[in-house]
Chain A
């Protein structure tokens, strides 16, 4: 069984640009969450989606948006990039919806904003 997958692995953008990050949850599972991890800190919750609906949003500006597709994959979009958006962006999903709260994480996308 494939775990959580993310693409791309690394990305370099300049200030003001827009970026789209992609995530596929554990096969067959309906929930994805996005986290931002700045160097030296723990991950910070951005969004959770379940069955294509937003179920939670963290304390991030409106420049951050996300969506979930019918196949349960998800995209995270960040507009008007700032230097401070440089971070590891992590996607997570539970192994079995409704069975456990455990979140399993993908390898992340390293975004560098210059």
Chain B
């Protein structure tokens, strides 16, 4: 299928490693943040979200950290698997659900 992003920042890891993907957001008033995974030729897939009144939220193999002081989000993926290879986007929103997406990071997981 087509590549989602040809010139995105790329993170290359080995299978089993932990991955950390970073994102800077733009609006200090944003109150809700989401991480999406996008595979080639597909729509973004929800991974995990966090509200601005939280610093950390954990899911299955994933953790999101929010640092409002520096407007920074990170996504941590534990025990990264080849199926995690994709482009990852952070998104921020305020109010009525318009999402503003970050640049995206391509994660490459080698066996």
B8, B41, B43, B98: the one contacting A106 at CB < 8 Å is B43
Q: Is there an interface contact between B96 and A48, defined as CB atoms closer than 8 Å? A: yes
Contact-residue size bin, chain B (C-beta under 8 Å from the other chain): 20 to 34
Interface residue count for A (Cβ, 8 Å)?
29
Residue of chain A at shortest CB distance from B100: A45
B98 touches A43 (CB 8 A): no
Task: Using CB atoms and an 8 Å cutoff, list the residues of chain B in contact with chain A.
Answer: 2-8, 32, 34, 36, 41-46, 49, 89, 91, 93, 96-104
Using known A-B contacts A101-B93, A105-B44, determine if residue A41 contacts B104 with beta carbons closer than 8 Å.
Answer: yes
Bound together, the chains give a CA A106 to CA B97 distance in angstroms of 16
Flag A91-114 by CB within 8 Å of B: 1 or 0 each: 010100000111111111010000
- Provide the residues of chain B in CB contact with A106, threshold 8 Å: 43
Q: Which one of A40, A94, A108 contacts B97 once the chains associate, using CB atoms below 8 Å?
A: A94
Cβ-based interface call for A58 (8 A): yes
Q: In the bound complex, do residue A101 and residue B7 qualify as a contact, i.e. CB atoms below 8 Å apart?
A: no
Are the C-beta atoms of A42 and B89 separated by less than 8 Å? yes
| Minimum C-beta distance from A52 to chain B (A) | 15
List 9 other contacts, CB 8 Å, given A45-B100, A108-B42.
A40-B6, A40-B7, A41-B5, A43-B101, A45-B98, A55-B96, A90-B43, A101-B49, A106-B43
**Cβ of B44 and Cβ of A48 under 8 Å apart?**
no
B7: nearest chain-A partner, CB-CB: A40
Contacts of A42 in B (CB 8 A): 89, 91, 101-104
Interface-central residue, B3, B96, B98, by most chain A CB under 10 Å: B98
Whether A43 and B99, one on each chain, are in contact in the complex, defined by CB atoms closer than 8 angstroms, is: yes
Residues of B contacting A24 in the complex (Cβ-Cβ under 8 angstroms): none
Q: How far is the CA of A107 from the CA of B93 in the complex (A)?
A: 21
A42 to B2: give the CA distance in the assembly, Å: 15
B43–A103 touching, CB < 8 Å: no
Bound CA span A86–B49, Å: 30
